[in-house]
Amino acid sequence: MSSEVMVSPSSKPLVSEGRMKLHFLGTAGYHPGDRRQTSCLFLPEAGIMLDAGTGLYRVTPLIQTDTIHIFLSHAHLDHTFGLTCLLDVVAKRPLKNIFVYAEQAKIDAIQSGLLHPLMFPVELPIQWIALESQSCDSISIDDAKIQWFPLMHPGGSVGFRIDWPKLSIAYVTDTTSHVDSAYWDILRKVDWLIHECNFSDKETEFARLTGHSWTTEVLKGAKRAEIERLILTHLQPTNDNIDPLGLAAALAKHRDLGPDQVIVAEDQLCIQLDIN
C-alpha cells in the first residue's frame, strides 16, 4: 500500500486510547423489515460511518463529533437510501461537515438517481469525495488509516479496512466470497471483521446469482486470514429464524472458527472494541 493522505482534520479527540464502540444501525440486505433496517454501521468516537442504509435514521443520539465521515461500499439502495435521513439528523444535531466517500461512478449514480431533484427535492449538506481522487489507496482521518479494495458484485463494490495504532477492523459487504478471493490477504489478522452473509449454505446458488455470500465460505476465508473475531451482517430480511445462517451447524461441521469467535449481527447491537 502507498502512503496515506490527510483529507480532513476534525475537532474530535484522537481515538488512540481506551475503548471504542461499533453500532449496528442496520443489518439487512435488500429491504428493511420489522427486525432489520438496511446496512449502516457507526463508530461514534471516530465519527466514521460504514454505508448509509435505512438504519442511518438511528444515528442522531449517538453522534459525538462535529464531522461525520461516511464510507459507501457501493450505490445500491440498501446502502444509500439512509442518506436522505441526514436532513432529519442535522435538524436535531447540527454538524460542521458530512463527508461521503465512494467511487466516482457510484457518486454520479446517487446524485442522478436517489438525489435527483424529482426524487428528493432538497440538497443534502454533503461534501462528496471520490475515492479515485485520492493520490493513493488510503485516507487518514485523525489516527485512523482507511484502505479500500475492490469486491466482486453486480456493478462493483469496495471493502474497507480501518487501522488505528492498536486496533483494526474491516468491513466487507456485497460480494460473493470465496476462500481464494484476493481480498482475504488485505484482511489478514484484522482484529474485527464485519462481513456480509446474506445467505445460509442451503442457498449457495442464489448467493452466486445475486453476488452475495453464504455461511461456510465466509468462515473458511476468515480462517485463512486468521481473523480473531467475525461479525456476520447484511442478512436476508425475510429470514426470521433464530439461527438465520445455520451458523451452529456450519461451525460444528467445518470447525474453521470457534463459536465464541463469530457473531450474527442484529439491529442495535453495540460492540465494545478494545484498544490495546
Q: Could you list the residues that contact Zn ion (CB under 5 A)?
A: 29, 76, 78, 174
Amino acid at 43: L
With CA atoms as reference, report the closest residue to 216 among 191, 246, 192.
246
Shortest Å, Cβ 39 to Zn ion: 6
Nearer residue to Zn ion within complex by CB, 29 or 82: 29
Shortest Å, Cβ 54 to Zn ion: 12
Q: Do residues 151 and 76 make contact, with C-beta atoms less than 8 angstroms apart?
A: no
Nearer residue to Zn ion within complex by CB, 164 or 199: 199
Shortest Å, Cβ 71 to Zn ion: 14
3-class secondary-structure state, position 6: strand
Nearer residue to Zn ion within complex by CB, 76 or 220: 76
Q: Which residue is nearest to Zn ion (CB)?
A: 76
Q: For the residues of 12-39, what is the DSSP string, one character each? A: SPP--SSEEEEEEEE-BSSS--SS-PBS
Phi and psi based region of residue 234 (left: phi greater than 0; alpha: psi -120 to 50; beta: remaining): left
Shortest Å, Cβ 82 to Zn ion: 12
Q: Do residues 264 and 245 make contact, with C-beta atoms less than 8 angstroms apart?
A: yes
Shortest Å, Cβ 213 to Zn ion: 11
Nearer residue to Zn ion within complex by CB, 210 or 261: 210
Nearer residue to Zn ion within complex by CB, 9 or 155: 155
Shortest Å, Cβ 174 to Zn ion: 4
Shortest Å, Cβ 154 to Zn ion: 7
* C-alpha cell at position 156: 462493483
Strands 67-71 and 97-102: parallel
Give the number of other CB atoms < 10 A from CB of residue 78: 26
Nearer residue to Zn ion within complex by CB, 10 or 39: 39
d(CA 108, CA 96): 24
Nearer residue to Zn ion within complex by CB, 7 or 152: 152
- Which burial class, exposed, middle or buried, applies to 219 when counting CB atoms under 10 A from its CB (0-12, 13-18, 19+)? buried
Q: Do residues 85 and 68 make contact, with C-beta atoms less than 8 angstroms apart?
A: no
